[in-house]
Amino acid sequence: MNNGHGIRMAASLAREDPAWLKFSLITMALMIVGFLIGVPVIHVFWQALSGGIKAYLSNIFEDPANRDAIFTTLYVAPRAVFLNLLFGISSAWLVSRFKFPGRTILLTLIDMPFAISPVVVGLGLVLLYGSSGLLGPSLASVGIQVLFNSPALVLATTFVTLPFIVRELIPVMESIGPDEELAALSLGASGLQIFFRITLPSLTLGLLYGTILCTARAVGEFGAIYVVSGRIAGLGQTIPLRVEQLFQQYQTPADFALASILTVIALATLLARKIMQSLSNQRHATDQAKRIPA
């Protein structure tokens, strides 16, 4: 009896580390996160707001090049996100509801943007749409200029952000399964009815989060756009490119002011993630509660 109690004590203490170890590990982890992430974030806002709110706002909006960069980002990012939304829904439906030859190839292609350097993406677009490229000359002859123009920015951004929405949707759709859709079909629902009444409502959280993530990445894309934009002020310069230009010109306050916009977007993305996680945990909990027979 006594012995058994002792063993249980040893067992419950087995996962308990000594206080000194615990304390020093926590300190080290907090220092790592602090120096790597915390201090840089504080530094952005510290630098951006060091001249007061008035200087901050004029730093952002007074320079026409900054305003152009903001407009370009507002032009490019929503288009890329919208395209990826269409693609995300379509291919998530395809991959999670049907078996067909080439499914694995499609999934590999979807993951590819994760593995490719953005600079290489830019190079591919230059080789395709440039004046000596594969499609560039024939598109130019019908008056379409893709490279160094807004279409190239949208194409580059769409490429780089392609996996985010699909990858969010596929696991959700797979875990829900086709049962409800099949039931609706057997009751005579049309394809559109099934999609809007059953599939779409069950995807709201995944869609919302995928869109937020995709938007954050679309707004912040740098390497691919750097290559295809041509970098002439006002033409194809997004906010991150403008941040780099201001850095080259040693305009530190204006630079940090613009960078703070991007940092707020990034922090908002993290907050959204946190809220979604607790929402889906709650939903999961209520589902579980429902299943328990009264």
Partner 1 sequence: MIKRRKNILPGFTLSLGFSLTFISIIVFLPLAALALKSTELSFQQFIQTISHARSLSAIKLTFFTAIMAAAINMVIGMLVAWVFVRYEFPFKQWIDALIDLPFALPTAVAGLVYANLYMRNGWIGQILALAGIDISYSSTAIILVLVFTGFPFVVRAVQPVLEEIEPELEEAAAILGASRLQTFCLVLWPMLRPAVVTGFALALARGLGEYGSVIFVSSNLPGQTEVAPTLIVARIEENKYAEATALALVLLTASFFLLGAINFWERWSRRHE
**Residue 178 engages partner 1 in binding (rule: CB under 8 A):** yes
Q: Are 226 and 241 in contact (CB under 8 A)?
A: yes
**How many other C-beta atoms can be found within 10 angstroms of the C-beta atom of residue 102?**
8
Among 165, 173, 257, 259, binds partner 1 (CB under 8 A): 259
Using CB under 8 A, which of the segments 139-147, 201-209, 221-229, 286-294 binds partner 1? 221-229
Q: How far is the CB of 204 from partner 1 (least distance, A)?
A: 19
| Region 233-252 residues binding partner 1, contact defined as CB under 8 A | 239-241, 243-244, 247, 252
Task: Assess contact for 151 and 75: CB atoms under 8 A.
Answer: no
User: Hey, what are 51's tokens?
Assistant: 């001249």
Binder among 181, 207, 229, 257 for partner 1 (CB under 8 A): 181
Of 205 and 262, CB closest to partner 1: 262
Candidate list 50, 191, 197, 281; residue touching partner 1; CB under 8 A = 191
CA geometry: angle at 153 spanning 152 and 154, to 5°? 90
Q: If binding means CB under 8 A, how many residues of this protein chain bind partner 1? A: 107
> Among 57, 144, 183, 270, which residue sits at the site for partner 1 (rule: CB under 8 A)?
270
Is 185 an interacting residue with respect to partner 1 (CB under 8 A)?
Answer: yes
CB of 99 to partner 1, least distance (A): 6
Cα 261 to Cα 239: distance, rounded to the nearest angstrom: 9
Residue 33: both structure tokens together:
């996160």
- Give the count of alpha carbons within 13 A of 244, CB side only: 13
Token pair listed for 289: 């509660």
289 touches partner 1 by CB under 8 A? no
Contact in structure between 91 and 106 (CB atoms under 8 Å): yes
The overall longest dimension of the chain from CA atoms, in Å, is: 91
Per DSSP, what are the bridge partners of residue 232? 235
Q: Identify any residues that bridge with 21 across adjacent strands, giving them in sequence order.
A: none
Neighbour tally for 291: CB within 10 Å: 7
Whichever of 278 and 286 has its CB closer to partner 1, that residue is 278
| 22-30, 141-149, 202-210, 284-292 -> range binding partner 1 (CB under 8 A) | 22-30
> In this chain, which stretch among 51-59, 137-145, 218-226, 286-294 interacts with partner 1, using CB under 8 A?
218-226
Kindly tell me which of 144 and 294 has the beta carbon lying closer to partner 1. Answer: 144
Dist. CA 239–CA 70, nearest whole Å: 6
State which residue, 118 or 236, has the beta carbon closest to partner 1.
Answer: 118
Check if the beta carbon of residue 267 is closer than 8 Å to that of residue 219: no
Which listed residue (76, 147, 194, 203) binds partner 1 by CB under 8 A?
Answer: 194
Six token digits for residue 259: 């960078």
Site for partner 1 in 78-117 (CB under 8 A): 83, 86-87, 90-91, 93-94, 97-100, 106, 109-117
Residues 55-74 that bind partner 1 (CB under 8 A): none
17 binding partner 1? (CB under 8 A): yes
Q: Which of 166, 199, 168, 202 is nearest to 182 (CA)?
A: 199
Ranges within 120-149 binding partner 1 (CB under 8 A): 120-128, 130, 132-135
